[in-house]
Amino acid sequence: MLILQRMAMATSSSSFLSIPLLKTSSFLSPVKHCASPLSSEFRALSLYGGRNGVSTSSAMATDAQVSTQDDKLKDAQMEVTDKPEKVVLPTNESSESLLRIRHTCAHVMAMAVQKLFPDAKVTIGPWIENGFYYDFDMEPLTDKELKRIKKEMDRIIGRNLPLIREEVSRDEAHKRITALNEPYKLEILESIKEDPITIYHIGDEWWDLCAGPHVGKTGNINRKAVELESIAGAYWRGDEKKPMLQRIYGTAWESEDQLKAYLHFKEEAKRRDHRRLGQVLDLFSIQNDAGGGLVFWHPKGAIVRHVMEDLWKKIHIERGYDLLYTPHVAKANLWQISGHLDYYKENMYDQMNVEDELYQLRPMNCPYHILVYKRKPHSYHEFPIRVAELGTVYRYELSGSLHGLFRVRGFTQDDAHIFCLEDQIKDEIRGVLDLTEELLLQFGFNKYEVNLSTRPEKAVGDDDIWVKATSSLRDALDDKGWSYQIDEGGGAFYGPKIDLKIEDALGRKWQCSTIQVDFNLPQRFDITYVDSNSEKKRPIMIHRAVLGSLERFFGVLIEHYAGDFPLWLSPVQAHVLPVTDSQLDYCKEVTNKLKANGIRGELCQGERLPKLIRNSEMQKIPLMAVVGAKEVETGTVTVRSRFGGDLGTMPIDDFVSTIKSAIESKASI
């Protein structure tokens, strides 16, 4: 895609944050989630024992002996068993009082720090999405000192000191800052362009340059709804050549209940962290020996990617796209023509010399698709022309910005480009919206935030085509019936765009899909078609991605499902578990039959049945087929579903057909 927005690690804020206190159920079918692994084993063993004469008490005693093993897998199994609830938390955008509380808390914290550490120099202290932070030039802090700072903050809040706004001249502000020996405040003062200068005092004991807003008195803050969270290093002004500062992060809310809900949200987000689950479930890794930001898809993760790619290709072929495969490198001149070397060079790897010619690892796929378009003349009869590729690109990212699958140096974009006529823009955009909805629904996402970005001040293309393209985007969204926000002037210099963020199980929003109209590259590469009057015209080019990148989308999927993938997407769909080694031959037959029917089944052995069941639960396997002597005799399996509980004993053919039906409909069993 043409100079897409950089992959963002952080999620965007919205008017409210809806926090499910439990993991979501699988897609489509309303399902039950199992409780703890131990209770699951009791139910599975009780079911099997009751039907087959096995003593569950002795089996559980065996489990107790092995329960201290496999701590890595146990760490993944942090299931929540209470009834699901939702707590709606306000945000800075939805609550003016919350924004005032957070801004004031930053000042109260700075005051507390300087009372405890008089030599500390203050810099900036803004409110942020879930709280606030302040940067200090001081000796490194410890967690123990955070507690001291919080205690001092509580004391300041309890004194109910007034927040007093004062306006002073620039000279007066400079004089006061110099008297305090606060060099960073002097630098901040120089960056303030408006006069007069506003100062906020906390009582008559502490002040800072600030435009507000704040609460009236420190007592308006609920000290039980404030918590200091962490300490981090941060360069002044984000410049690594400038001093390293101590940044203290805090969170603040209107009530203690809101703080508790937020802390629960943080714990749930930690439980779902794709980096941890990626290791525990053996899905992917980033190997230091190979370099940072380069993803290794392990067999289980690769299976999920294979399923994702197959679905993506199927939907695109059905909707009239031609699939492409293009090289990972090209002559550097190609990127000069496209403009990437002028506008995007800092995110591109160094060029390589091949037989005295410079080559470049591709940061984007779009120039390649243009070259495919240019391979032959085109007539207006051929439009629209849609091409799509799962194209791997390489972008240079600083090591400090790398973050699991969310910010990497090599990733595969689900990239597509549409070449069309001006009067086809609306229909093509609507088609992309329909495809986007269809694909995202398959993965369980049905809540979106949509933004329409319009022409910026500096732009290429005539006014009339901008108006027509923007109207086409707007009309397509209106036809679709999606609500959206207008981002005035937020479009790219080469055309207007639609950005779509998906909402996950925790209410977080992730930038994935983008649709961009481009007037720039068709001109740069001089691509044309012959119209009905046999004249050469320039086509409209539409860039679009639905998933964004497979790596990042996989990370979102892991966190959305907490690694508990729905049956159709799960890397292993069923475990076949023998009660004893006597049933191994029959279990192999069952496993082979599952595989022959396209079901991802695995035979597990080498442990007692309770341990096999426990391991299956820990690995989040959707289905377990338990096989004992009676199952061998009757040609059946005893089935437990991770989502649906005990399903009883059934013939193998019924088990296979049930799984195939559920996979086809993307439902749970």
pLDDT tens readout for residues 317-345? 999 999 999 999 999 999 899 888 887 88
Residues 556 and 579 in one domain: no
Residues 217 and 141 in one domain: yes
Residues near 617 by beta carbon (within 8 Å), at least 6 away in sequence: 34, 37, 40, 41, 77, 642
287 φ, ψ (degrees, to nearest 5): -90, 125
Residues 617 and 527 in one domain: no
Last residue of a domain, one of 540, 561, 582: 561
Residues near 553 by beta carbon (within 8 Å), at least 6 away in sequence: 308, 512, 547
Residue 78 lies in a domain: no
Please name the amino acid found at residue 66.
V
Residue 2 lies in a domain: no
Residues 209 and 240 in one domain: yes
Could you give the C-alpha distances from 490 to 236, 257, 404, 478, 500, in angstroms and in order? 28, 37, 28, 19, 14
Last residue of a domain, one of 561, 585, 601: 561
Q: Helix or strand or coil: residue 135?
A: strand
Residue with tokens 């695995």: 602
Contact assessment for residue 154 and residue 175, using Cβ atoms and an 8 Å cutoff: no
C-alpha 536: how far from its chain's center?
Answer: 44
C-alpha 265: how far from its chain's center?
Answer: 15
pLDDT of residue 85: 55
Residue 135 lies in a domain: yes
pLDDT of residue 400: 79
Residue 118 lies in a domain: yes
Residues 105 and 155 in one domain: yes
C-alpha 649: how far from its chain's center?
Answer: 40
Is the preceding omega at residue 363 within 30 degrees of 0, hence cis?
Answer: no
Contact assessment for residue 391 and residue 323, using Cβ atoms and an 8 Å cutoff: no
Q: Domains in the chain: how many in total?
A: 3
The domain that holds 358 is classified in CATH as 3.30.930.10
Eight-class DSSP state of 287: -
pLDDT of residue 434: 96
Catalytic residues: 366, 395, 413, 415, 417, 497, 543
Instruction: Give the closest residue to 295 by CA, choosing from 402, 137, 427.
Output: 402
Low-confidence ranges of the chain (pLDDT < 50): 1-84
Residue 76 lies in a domain: no
Residue 322 lies in a domain: yes
pLDDT of residue 86: 61
CA distance 641 to 25: 13
Which range marks the domain in which residue 224 is found?
96-255
Report DSSP letters for 188-239, one per residue: HHHH--SSSEEEEEETTTEEEE------SBGGGS-GGGEEEEEEEEEEGGG-
Residue 82 lies in a domain: no
Residues near 587 by beta carbon (within 8 Å), at least 6 away in sequence: 576, 577, 578, 603, 605, 627
Residues 601 and 631 in one domain: yes
Q: Helix or strand or coil: residue 181?
A: coil
The domain that holds 214 is classified in CATH as 3.30.980.10
Residues 538 and 650 in one domain: no
Last residue of a domain, one of 561, 595, 623: 561
Instruction: Give the closest residue to 525 by CA, choosing from 322, 369, 640.
Output: 369
Could you give the C-alpha distances from 93 to 45, 127, 145, in angstroms and in order? 52, 12, 32
Residues 551 and 589 in one domain: no
What is the tens place of the pLDDT at every residue in 252-288? 999 999 999 999 999 999 999 999 999 999 999 999 8
The domain that holds 646 is classified in CATH as 3.40.50.800
Does the pTM surpass 0.85? The reply is: no
Residues 186 and 322 in one domain: no
CA distance 435 to 556: 19
Residues 502 and 617 in one domain: no
CA distance 293 to 280: 19
pLDDT of residue 20: 38
Residues 414 and 522 in one domain: yes
DSSP E strand stretches across 37-169: 86-90, 121-122, 127-128, 131-137, 163-168
CA distance 236 to 239: 6
371 φ, ψ (degrees, to nearest 5): -65, -35
Residues 518 and 591 in one domain: no
Eight-class DSSP state of 393: E
Residue 376 lies in a domain: yes
- Give bridge partners of residue 602 from the DSSP assignment: 575
State the helix-helix crossing angle for 56-66 and 609-618, rounded to 10 degrees.
Answer: 60
Residue 481's CB is within 10 A of a number of other CB atoms, namely 7
